[in-house]
Amino acid sequence: MTLFSPISLRDMTMRNRTVVAPMCQYSSVDGFANDWHFAHLSRFGIGGFGLVVFEATGVVPEGRISYGDLGLWKDEHIAPLARIVDFLHSQGAKAGIQLAHAGRKASTPVSWRGEADLATGEQRAAAGYEHWQPVAPSAVSHDPADPSFQVPLALDKAGIQHIIDGFVAATLRAEKAGFDTVEIHAAHGYLLNQFLSPLSNHRTDEYGGSRENRMRLVLEVTEAVRKAWPEHKPLLARLSVSDNAEGGWTTEDSVVLSRELKARGVDAIDCSSGGFAEGRISSAAAYQVPFARAVKQGADIPTMAVGLLGDVHEANAILENGEADMIALARGALNDPNWPVHAQRALGSKDYSLWPIQARRVSDHDRILGLQVA
């Protein structure tokens, strides 16, 4: 197993094991993908990635992190997403979309827009500005010290069913848009992670208390999505394998959950961590790889490693050592959208078939890449 060996999940075969992780762009109006999203995502297909996963996409409008998030809560969202999917396919890449609900972390500001940028009705309309009341498992703010986060409304049974229905409807639209895989977002302190973690879930009904109860909504969403998603297409789930906080969700919990997800038709786990105000972890190269290794070994399921994995040789060694099955880049992909084709050369390959056809005819690739010939 190496970076440039193919991998098959159900009927989806990726040309290599490089993945673009979901990255929120906060550049949408009313949930619609636009030219920015096309340019941002398409370049990763040109650059040789095996799978490009679109950013956290709201399954219901109130599930967005901000008013600038992508959405898939209405049929009109399908066509602009399909345009990007079609282009990625033309470049040999697979396309995935992360379906999400932000829970109590919803309706937060877009960081680069201040009050002056939203001072008039025209400015707010142009930005698609909206503000709404978030929902969560319990009426507890993500961070009481930060006014960006509101105290959410605790979900009742009807509200929980509304969310499950939203995931199903978005899944059906993702199929119409031509996506090869969908990823259920249960990480980073967003809604499904909020139900999992004792830090945010203070319920006393069947969705709170024991680990089994706290896992209930994630498993119900998974069962509903798997039923709606074509059998031949793979289903992914992203987990914060650990909250990195005392009294929070742990790696052991994630191993147990991953076994249950696998039993319900999830084909791979995207292994991240954190997302709660109480949690802290020091970032360093490959700092989250132990999470991918623990889930892979403990649950016997393919995993995706993510988190400062831009060193080509280290990324390749992670796969060779069997610590994970795929390598995902976010900021590393932004820094170098052509990371896979550069990585392939750095590993000693003289095969330029991963390059787009328009670039393969250039005679001196080594000079263009700034690489030394051995």
H helices of 104-156, in order, are 121-127
Three-state DSSP class for 316? Answer: helix
Beta strand residue intervals within 155-234, DSSP E: 181-186
Going from the C-alpha of 177 to that of each of 49, 78, 96, 216, the distances in angstroms are 20, 5, 10, 29
Distance CA 284, CA 277 (A): 20
Tell how far CA 50 is from the center of its chain.
15
Strand 18-20 with 51-58, pairing: parallel
Query: Any idea which residue has 């009313």 for tokens?
Result: 30
Structure tokens at 373: 């010939």
Distance CA 107, CA 127 (A): 14
Is 190 labeled as catalytic in the residue annotation? Answer: yes
Distance CA 94, CA 45 (A): 8
Structure tokens at 5: 């060996």
Query: Any idea which residue has 């980073």 for tokens?
Result: 188
- CB contact at 8 A, 197 and 243: yes
Nearest to 355 by CA among 127, 12, 45, 32: 45
Which of 67, 129, 190, 207 is an active site residue? 190
Active site residues: 190
